[in-house]
């Protein structure tokens, strides 16, 4: 049938929609609706809860976790201690803590308390389904986008948040990708209704993807583009300052270069994604020439220039530890023991794991692998808690359990870096987090299936 008017088309569409919903009424368990590549699966109310967790309300009364083993990270381990927090902030940590009247006292005897884990490099909230481009918001058009702020595109309802959170990852540093200068990374809590509510610190670093040295001409071209970018930004800063002081005519606002001013003033580091030895060496030289605060991201060959990193006080955010060597001549454990090598050399470092939001829940096992291959256990735990917070400049909020910091912590059955440990309850800024997620829901579902089958035999 050929439709001649929008009204006729609309009526036909309404008739088709009515038939569709009549068919859907007979589906008591599942409704699958596909639209422009998205699949929304509505199952039982329990699964809906698992997929769409409701953020917890703000803490409205004091909470005291009493009787557990407290791993403060910054101040050692406290046996049979108490953590008291009010209005989302830790007010006291230790033994024989005076508990205010009306406080909710939680007995955690036999349990352990740790600060929430921090994923120092991830695409959480920007990445949902790899095969569906419309759920990816990782990069902008063009090679140079220093003004990109990932938090404004952050999806607080991402299914990956609950899965990672249930495994102890309570803070993420969400980062853009692509191009030469990807944009800025930002630290967010893994609980809340909106990015404004979840934001801990915006602009934790300016992310630069160092050119690959594979092709010499392309490498030099990339380096020149990087130099030109920083030259243009520095010239803009000079021109705007002269304008503000009345010594030059009006200079139009450029958000790209405006966003780089904190970098030149030393308020924001440049996080350079570099793995190859030459990349790291050239990035160090470049940062010295530009007078920038440098952080190496990736750092596969960082141990080969450890003395330079220590001398220049350049920290490293190590990405995937649980991966195979990149070169055939390297030993099988080359990546497993990289954190131990950096620690032994005196390099400040953190462990971030892979960038994919879907695998953020594996972060504790990245650090656990490093501990299994020579890294001191306490340092391994620090590498995913306090160290990333210190490196990226938000350790005043999270990373350890101490008075004055956010009550972002978790109750566990043991060491969170071990596969056998269960995270029983997490608190994010004092909010009691819903611990049900898609993974746990299906675990419980199919465990019940096994139980029922066993009982029927």
Q: What is the pLDDT of residue 246?
A: 83
Q: How far apart are CA 38 and CA 276, in angstroms?
A: 38
82 and 182 both lie in a single domain: no
Residue 210, both tokens: 């160092």
- 258-279 pLDDT tens trace: 999 999 999 999 999 999 999 9
Instruction: Assess contact for 145 and 181: CB atoms under 8 A.
Output: yes
Domain range for residue 391? 117-398
Residue 352 confidence (pLDDT)? 96
Asked if pLDDT for residue 344 goes beyond 90, the answer is yes
Residues 362 and 294 in one domain: yes
Has residue 47 been placed in a domain? Answer: no
Provide the Cα torsion 246, 249, 255, 261; round to 10°: -40
The domain tally of the chain equals 3
Spatial distance between the Cα atoms of 91 and 85, rounded to a whole number of angstroms: 5
Confidence of residue 438 (pLDDT cuts 50, 70, 90): confident
256 lies in the same domain as 243 = yes
Return d(Cα 434, Cα 403) in angstroms, integer: 24
The pLDDT value given to residue 251: 84
Pair 185, 140 in one domain: yes
Same domain, 241 and 383: yes
Q: Do 233 and 259 share a domain, yes or no?
A: yes
pLDDT at 330 over 80: yes
Q: Is residue 50 part of a domain?
A: no
Measured between alpha carbons, how far is 438 from 184 in angstroms, rounded to an integer?
30
Residue 127 and residue 160 share a domain: yes
Per-residue pLDDT of 221-246, as tens digits, reads 999 999 999 999 999 999 998 988 88
pTM of the full structure? 0.86
CB atoms within 10 A of CB 303: 21
- Mean pLDDT across 128-145: 88
Mean pLDDT of 339-352: 98
For residues 162 and 205, membership in a common domain is answered with yes
Tokens representing residue 298 in the block:
């990736």
Q: Which of 348, 373, 398 is the last residue of a domain?
A: 398
Q: Could you tell me if 427 and 408 are in contact, meaning their C-beta atoms sit under 8 angstroms apart?
A: yes
194 in a structural domain:
yes
How many alpha carbons lie under 13 Å from residue 432 in its C-beta half-sphere? 11
Residue 199 in any domain: the answer is yes
Distance CA 164, CA 247 (A): 53
Q: How confident is the model at residue 107 (pLDDT cuts 50, 70, 90)?
A: very high
DSSP 3-state assignment of 410? Answer: strand
Q: Are 321 and 367 in contact (CB under 8 A)?
A: yes
| Three-class DSSP category at 349 | strand
79 and 204 assigned to the same domain: no
pLDDT above 90 covers what percent of the chain? Answer: 77
Residue 222's contacts (CB-CB under 8 Å, 6 or more residues apart) are 180, 210, 211, 212
- Strand-pairing partners, residue 316, are 296, 349
**SS3 label, residue 219:** helix
| Whether residue 299 sits in one domain with residue 252 | yes
Mean pLDDT of the chain: 89
């Amino acid at each position: 049938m050929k439709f001649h008017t929008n009204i006729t088309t609309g009526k036909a569409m309404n008739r088709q929609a009515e038939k569709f919903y009549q068919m859907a009424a007979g589906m008591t368990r599942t409704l699958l609706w596909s639209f422009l590549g998205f699949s929304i699966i509505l199952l039982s109310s329990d699964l809906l809860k698992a997929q769409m967790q409701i953020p917890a309300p703000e803490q409205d009364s004091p909470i005291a976790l009493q009787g557990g083993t407290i791993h403060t990270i910054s101040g050692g381990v406290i046996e049979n201690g108490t953590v008291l927090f009010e209005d989302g902030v830790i007010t006291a940590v230790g033994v024989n803590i005076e508990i205010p009247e009306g406080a909710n006292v939680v007995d955690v005897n036999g349990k352990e308390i740790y600060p929430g884990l921090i994923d120092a490099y991830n695409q959480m909230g920007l990445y949902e389904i790899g095969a569906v481009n419309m759920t990816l918001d990782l990069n902008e058009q063009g090679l140079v986008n220093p003004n990109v702020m990932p938090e404004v595109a952050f999806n607080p309802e991402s299914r990956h948040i609950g899965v990672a959170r249930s495994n102890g990852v309570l803070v993420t540093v969400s980062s853009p990708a692509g191009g030469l200068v990807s944009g800025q990374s930002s630290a967010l809590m893994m609980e809340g209704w909106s990015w404004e509510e979840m934001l801990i610190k915006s602009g934790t670093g300016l992310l630069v993807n160092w050119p690959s040295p594979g092709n010499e001409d392309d490498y030099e071209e990339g380096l020149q583009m990087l130099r030109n970018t920083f030259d243009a930004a520095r010239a803009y800063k000079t021109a705007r300052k002269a304008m503000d002081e009345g010594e030059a005519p009006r200079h139009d606002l450029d958000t790209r270069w405006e966003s780089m001013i904190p970098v030149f003033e030393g308020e924001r580091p440049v996080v350079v994604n570099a793995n190859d030895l030459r990349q790291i060496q050239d990035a160090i030289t470049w940062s010295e020439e530009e007078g920038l605060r440098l952080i190496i991201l990736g750092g596969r060959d960082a141990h080969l220039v450890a003395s330079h990193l220590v001398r220049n006080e350049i920290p490293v955010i190590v990405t995937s530890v649980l991966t195979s060597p990149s070169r055939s001549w390297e030993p099988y454990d080359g990546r497993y023991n990289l954190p131990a090598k950096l620690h032994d050399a005196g390099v400040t470092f953190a462990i971030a794991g892979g960038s994919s939001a879907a695998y953020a829940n594996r972060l504790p096992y990245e650090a656990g692998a490093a501990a299994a291959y020579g890294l001191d256990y306490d340092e391994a735990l620090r590498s995913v808690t306090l160290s990333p917070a210190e490196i990226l400049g938000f350790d005043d909020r999270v990373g350890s359990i101490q008075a004055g910091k956010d009550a972002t912590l978790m109750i566990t059955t043991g060491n969170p870096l071990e596969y056998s440990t269960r995270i029983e309850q997490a608190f994010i800024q004092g909010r009691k987090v819903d611990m049900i997620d898609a993974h746990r829901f299906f675990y419980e579902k199919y465990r019940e299936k096994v139980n029922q089958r066993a009982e029927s035999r």
